[in-house]
Amino acid sequence: MGTASLVTPDLGHAYADALPELVKPWQAAAAPDPSLVLLNEPLAAELGLDGDWLRSPDGVAFLVGAQVPEGATPVAMAYAGHQFGGYSPLLGDGRALLLGELRDPAGGLHDLHLKGSGRTPFARGGDGLAVLAPMLREYVVSEAMHALGIPTTRALAVVTTGRDVARDGGWFPGAVLARVASSHLRVGTFQLTRAMDDVGLLTRLADLAIARHHPDAADAASPYLALFEAVRDAQARLVAQWMGVGFVHGVLNTDNVTISGETIDYGPCAFVDAADPATVFSSIDSGGRYAWGNQPGVTAWNLARFAEALLPLVADDQQEAVEIATASLEGYATTYAAAWTEQVRRKLGLGADASDEVVGPLAEQLAELMRGTPVDHTGFWRDLSAAARGDAAPARDRLLDLEGFDAWLERWRALGPDADAMDRVNPVHVPRNHLVESALESATAGDLAPVHALLAAITQPYDPAGVDEVYRQPAPDGFGAYTTYCGT
């Protein structure tokens, strides 16, 4: 515990070196009185970071960007993106910084990134800041996703800055989130690069993406097409997982779609309560573009934008490149369908012997039974394991079409579902909206206990043991329609 054991991290700057055109060296805004709110000890250990040092005044200064390790080069990253379908030629990290790259003890490379660290050259009209509640929300929801086995950026720490920030007519504690990602490359990074009309730069970016995320593509006959297909498949698998747990990202703009296949940017995201595909939480998504059920389709749309950005690398002849990319994009539907069928096969406790032709329609019939009822998505799936064990009443009580469900049950049970296997894939604990909301409200008022209790529940998503029942109950009557806010 003595100071002699404290180790400051080494941060690389390979991205900034390889692609100086796509970054602006920058530094964080001063934080008058930084105070550590949450530190993700297990993640720090995985990354080989010294938890004692991170908790020390130097470590906390590091986590708000006030103190940069020698040799590091923090940068704001540039990118473009389609926001709700409209193209913004230059977005970039308006309130974030890439501090640098971390090498974990196993050799893996991670971006260490700060959000809420002050205005950058990409801030446009924004104040560059973040407030405590939304940063805690990203922490809680991204850790829930990780615990659910869904690829995601991770939260390392939340630090309050000691400066209040104006939001919605009030003042709220300012905070910085330190997060870790396998990289912050986005479809929007490629869109910006494509628009810069420099094939050499685009090639450098694509080569870096291949080396960092999809190294097998390097050996393919057409490496950049292989890169596209690797991202296509990673995104298809990711979205199938979101659909399985009822996750609604909320702002699936192309700048929030990663090349790694990790979930990124937890703004207005939320988990569905009722299993309604039209579920939208974000206050700005009035058209339902990013509704729960639209995510697979909108991801195909986002991938088409990625394909367009890559066209000059796919073939010299533009027409030929378009034909190749179009054919390749069609593969998304196949990959998504396979990933989704695999999801529901596991959720229904069925093995490989249950064919796609059986599993697909069974899942569709179940979705049909849930549609139009206020059935709690998470609770219903978990109750199905009881049904597999012989007690169908809890699941049945949630539905309206009881005859239809009984007929469905008979078909499903005939396939011999494995209830224990179902309990390993259908969570009991997800960050339910009413729990998140009240925990964040308490945290803003200075009481972190509910956030810690929620974290304890959601980091053991499949196991109810030792966790208060309130963490698996649906929203209380009167919680009403839930609304989330962007850019908070």
Q: Which residues are part of the catalytic machinery?
A: 255
95 lies in the binding site for ligand AMP (CB under 6 A): yes
Query: Judged by CB under 5 A, how many residues of this single chain contact Mg ion?
Result: 2
Examine residue 487 and tell whether it contacts ligand AMP (CB under 6 A). yes
Closest listed residue to residue 36, CA positions, set 44, 48, 24: 44
Q: Which of 59, 94, 174, 250 binds ligand AMP (CB under 6 A)?
A: 94
- Give me the amino acid identity at 55: R
Nearest-approach distance from CB 122 to ligand AMP, in angstroms: 6
Please tell me what DSSP assigns to residue 316.
S
> Per CB under 6 A, which region of 122-130, 144-152, 209-217, 339-347 contacts ligand AMP?
122-130
Q: Is 76 in the site for ligand AMP (CB under 6 A)?
A: no
Nearer to Mg ion, 253 or 328 (CB): 253
Q: Is 117 a residue that touches Mg ion (CB under 5 A)?
A: no
Strand pairing class (81-83; 96-103): unpaired
Q: What would the two tokens of residue 395 be?
A: 């699941």
Report the partner that residue 94 touches, choosing among ligand AMP, Mg ion, none (CB closer than 5 to 8 A by kind): ligand AMP
Q: Which residues pair with 83 in a beta bridge?
A: 86
For the record, the structure tokens of 262 come out as: 């990790």
257 counts as binding ligand AMP under rule CB under 6 A: no
User: Using CB under 6 A, which of 39, 129, 141, 245 touches ligand AMP?
Assistant: 129
> Does 127 participate in binding ligand AMP (rule CB under 6 A)?
yes
Exposure b/e, 371-398, CB count within 10 A at least 16 = b: eeeebbbbbbbbbbbbbbeeebeebeeb
CB 144 within 8 A of CB 138: no
Apex 141 CA angle, 462 and 433, nearest 5? 85
Helices within 414-478 (DSSP H only): 419-423, 433-444, 449-458
Query: Contact between 262 and ligand AMP (CB under 6 A)?
Result: no
Distance between CA atoms of 456 and 470, rounded to whole angstroms? Answer: 13
Judged by CB under 6 A, the residue of 267, 349, 417, 461 near ligand AMP is 267
173 belongs to the binding site for ligand AMP (CB under 6 A): no
265 binds Mg ion (CB under 5 A): yes
Site membership for ligand AMP, residue 185 (CB under 6 A): no
Distance of closest approach, residue 149 Cβ to ligand AMP, in angstroms:
24
Q: Which of 117, 183, 256, 484 binds Mg ion (CB under 5 A)?
A: 256
DSSP state of 211: H
Residues 17 and 483: their CA atoms lie apart, in Å, by: 41
State the minimum distance, in angstroms, from the CB of residue 76 to ligand AMP: 9
| Cβ-based nearer residue to Mg ion, 283 or 438 | 283
161 binds ligand AMP (CB under 6 A): no
Q: Using CB under 5 A, which of the segments 255-263, 309-317, 397-405, 411-419 binds Mg ion?
A: 255-263
Residue 273's binding partner, choosing from Mg ion, ligand AMP, none, with beta-carbon cut-off 5 to 8 A by kind? none
Q: How far apart are CA 155 and CA 166, in angstroms?
A: 24
Nearer to Mg ion, 143 or 265 (CB): 265
Verify binding: residue 256, ligand AMP, rule CB under 6 A.
yes
- Tell me if 250 contacts ligand AMP by CB under 6 A: no
What count of other Cβ atoms lies within 10 Å of the Cβ of residue 169? Answer: 5
Contact between 193 and 20 under an 8 Å Cβ cutoff? The reply is: no
A 10 A CB-CB count for 189 gives 29
Q: How many residues belong to the chain?
A: 488
Q: Is 93 in the site for ligand AMP (CB under 6 A)?
A: yes
Burial of 408 (C-beta count, 10 Å sphere; 0-12/13-18/19+): middle
b or e along 206-244 (b: 16 or more beta carbons within 10 Å of the residue's beta carbon)? bbbbbebbbeebeeeeebbbbbbbbbbbbbbbbbbbbbb
| Stretch binding Mg ion (CB under 5 A), from 132-140, 143-151, 170-178, 264-272 | 264-272
Quote the CA–CA distance of 61 and 34 in Å, as a whole number: 7
Considering only residues 126, 215, 374, 416, which one is a binding residue for ligand AMP as defined by CB under 6 A? 126
At 258, phi and psi to the nearest 5? Answer: -85, 155
Q: For ligand AMP, which is the closer residue by CB, 139 or 381?
A: 139
Binder to ligand AMP among 128, 174, 244, 261 (CB under 6 A)? 128
Q: Does 111 bind Mg ion (CB under 5 A)?
A: no
Among 6, 68, 123, 415, binds ligand AMP (CB under 6 A): 123
Min separation Cβ 189 and Mg ion, Å: 11
Which positions touch ligand AMP (CB under 6 A)?
A: 91-96, 122-123, 126-129, 251, 255-256, 265, 267, 486-487
Binding residues for Mg ion, per CB under 5 A?
256, 265
